[in-house]
Amino acid sequence: NAGVTQTPKFQVLKTGQSMTLQCAQDMNHEYMSWYRQDPGMGLRLIHYSVGAGITDQGEVPNGYNVSRSTTEDFPLRLLSAAPSQTSVYFCATSLFPDSAYGYTFGSGTRLTVV
Amino acid sequence: GDSVTQMEGPVTLSEEAFLTINCTYTATGYPSLFWYVQYPGEGLQLLLKATKADDKGSNKGFEATYRKETTSFHLEKGSVQVSDSAVYFCALREGNTGFQKLVFGTGTRLLVSP
């Protein structure tokens, strides 16, 4: 029972490079989100999805793209990485839209942009 | 918008000491409140929650009471262990319909020494 799997765990990019952070879940959760975690800032919502084919912006969407072609996968794309995107990225899923039931988080991807 | 304020860390305690981590919130109405814990190298895990005023959430010896008069949800534990060393996040649920997002505080690192 894998839960939420994020890959890679660590990544170093040069400014201007592109990459995709992967998030896969095997719990059949409809709702998936991407957060970034920065020192002194807590977790901030980047994008979220309420089901396959449906995505929306969160608090800090600029510089990131998402798509949701299947229930299981919710990749996060950086088209042209910037040092300001150095952060730890977490994917979270939930069975219900009501976050009172709790999210399941992946173990994170630590991204450094130089 | 809604926000959560946590005490800055790190909080450094000896084993078996009493723990309090302060959390206050600003929100419209009475949102559900949560504590999440992040152990080193892992994603966040739901520790406890309270969905209405005066509710007490509890789990693994941790407790927090939803105080609407002081807009607070302080985390307490009577006797901490080395294994409790982690980062603790207070959060609230934003919105009442559709996808209900979590708004996180900045996190408080707890270090427990033997």
- Above 90 in pLDDT, residue A42? no
The mean pLDDT of chain B is 92
Q: Which candidate in A5, A49, A60, A99 is best for mutational testing of the B interface (most B CBs within 10 A)?
A: A99
- Above 80 in pLDDT, residue B98? no
Which residues, in sequence order, are bridge partners of residue A93? A32, A104
Pick from B89, B101, B106: CB nearest A99: B101
pLDDT tens-digit series, residues B63-87: 999 999 999 999 999 999 999 999 9
pLDDT of the residue at B82: 97
Q: Which helix (H) or strand (E) holds B37?
A: strand B33-38
User: In this predicted model, which residue has the larger pLDDT, A95 or A91?
Assistant: A91
Contact A108 B43 (CB under 8 A): yes
Q: Which positions ≥6 away from B65 have C-beta within 8 Å?
A: B50, B54, B55, B56, B57, B73, B74
Q: For residues A63 and A16, give the distance between their C-alpha atoms in angstroms, rounded to a whole number.
A: 11
Contact A48 B101 (CB under 8 A): yes
- For chain B, the residues whose C-beta falls within 8 A of a C-beta of chain A are 4, 32, 34, 41-46, 49, 51, 89, 93, 98-102, 104-107
Sign of CA dihedral B44, B49, B53, B55: negative
Q: Are strands A76-78 and A104-105 parallel, antiparallel or unpaired?
A: unpaired
**Cβ(A13)–Cβ(B69) below 8 Å:** no
The mean pLDDT of chain A is 92
pLDDT of the residue at A18: 96
pLDDT mean over A37-64: 92
Rounded to a whole number of angstroms, the distance from the CA of B97 to the nearest CA of chain A is: 8
Contact B44 A103 (CB under 8 A): yes
